[in-house]
Amino acid sequence: MKRTHSYLTSLLLLTLLALPQSSWAEEPLRFHTLELPPFGYLDETGTPRGILFDITDALIKEADIDANHRLLPMARIIRQLSIGKTDCTIVTRSPYSESLGEPVADLKSPVHGAILFPKKSASSSYDDLKGQTIAVVRGSHFNHPLDQDTEINKTWVDNDRLAVLMLMANRVAAIAGPLEGFLYIMQKEGISREAIKDPLILVKRDFWIHCAPGAITKPVKEALLKSTERLASDGTIQRIWDAYLKRTPKGRDGKKPD
């Protein structure tokens, strides 16, 4: 009888050891945030901050889930989503983002791709840029004719700050890229918004939580969705935005037919 009991105990132990660890001990969720001001960056003390970083921290707390949260460059987040080393992130929703991960929850926080003109410029429309040189932030894609337009000379720059400084120095006729990033840089550099014309909006996209296929359980997915809805409805997400960036000025529609 003792031999039978010992055999059953050993069999049970072997069965448990053979199970994937996630079946009996949940691993912390690997939540990675874009490292790009104002969405995610290290402050003077080396502490992670930023709009998306703070929103993600609030969502993790509200959902009451165990998570490791850190900043990573976008290229690395994209690579790690595809190989299962990033579980969730917040990015703008598009057909491309949907190919990387499952959209889980809408933050109700739109961001904009835009063209900025200096206030004193004679140019103010898309057609005015034909034959002129503009600075475009590397990696920007607008789903707009600008993406393939060869009549506009494009100088690619590595970041929002360089683009804004080139515009203010009159080195280019206009700049194209993330509007919220441009406005944040202007705010940090002490550049008045009176120095630019109303932004020409090329595209508007919403931030969504995206998670790698199979990375989260149904209960975690539901917790993230409900927490996002609560933080959007009670104004928490908007308050985080407002803490970093004053409200976006009125923009003009810059869409053109294909």
Report how far residue 9's alpha carbon sits from residue 118's, in angstroms, rounded to the nearest whole number.
76
| pLDDT, average across residues 62-84 | 92
Percentage of the chain lying above the pLDDT 70 cut: 85
Report how far residue 55's alpha carbon sits from residue 61's, in angstroms, rounded to the nearest whole number.
10
Q: Where are the domains of the chain?
A: 28-110+206-244, 112-204
Q: pLDDT at residue 10 above 60?
A: no
Angle at 166 between CA 160 and CA 171, to 5 degrees: 150
Instruction: Give first-to-last CA distance, the chain, whole Å.
Output: 80
Query: Using one digit for the tens of pLDDT, what is the confidence trace for 174-231?
Result: 999 999 999 999 999 999 999 999 999 999 999 999 999 999 999 999 999 999 999 9
Q: Give the residue, 250 or 102, on which the prediction is more confident.
A: 102
Tell me the average pLDDT of the chain: 87
* Unique residue bearing structure tokens 């691993």: 27
What are the two backbone dihedrals, phi and then psi, of residue 65, each rounded to the nearest 5 degrees? -120, 155
Report how far residue 237's alpha carbon sits from residue 90's, in angstroms, rounded to the nearest whole number.
13
Both structure tokens of 145:
């004719």
Tell me the CATH number of domain 28-110+206-244, given options 3.40.50.300, 3.40.190.10, 3.30.70.120, 2.30.110.10.
Answer: 3.40.190.10
pLDDT of the residue at 248: 57
pLDDT of the residue at 253: 67
With cut-offs at 50, 70 and 90, classify the pLDDT of residue 96.
Answer: confident
Could you tell me the fold of the domain covering 112-204?
Answer: D-Maltodextrin-Binding Protein; domain 2 (3.40.190)
In CATH terms, are 28-110+206-244 and 112-204 the same topology?
Answer: yes
Query: Using one digit for the tens of pLDDT, what is the confidence trace for 140-157?
Result: 888 899 999 999 999 999
By CB atoms closer than 10 A (0-12, 13-18, 19+), residue 56 is buried
For 11-126, strand residue ranges (E) read 29-34, 41-42, 48-49, 67-72, 88-92, 102-116
Q: pLDDT at residue 13 above 70?
A: no
Report how far residue 179's alpha carbon sits from residue 102's, in angstroms, rounded to the nearest whole number.
26
Q: How many CA atoms lie within 13 A of 125 on its CB side?
A: 3
With cut-offs at 50, 70 and 90, classify the pLDDT of residue 11.
Answer: very low
Report how far residue 30's alpha carbon sits from residue 68's, in angstroms, rounded to the nearest whole number.
5
pLDDT of the residue at 252: 65
Both structure tokens of 47:
């502490």
pLDDT of the residue at 12: 38
With cut-offs at 50, 70 and 90, classify the pLDDT of residue 26.
Answer: low
Whole-prediction pTM value?
0.78
Report how far residue 56's alpha carbon sits from residue 32's, in angstroms, rounded to the nearest whole number.
9
Q: Give the residue, 67 or 138, on which the prediction is more confident.
A: 67
Q: pLDDT at residue 5 above 60?
A: no
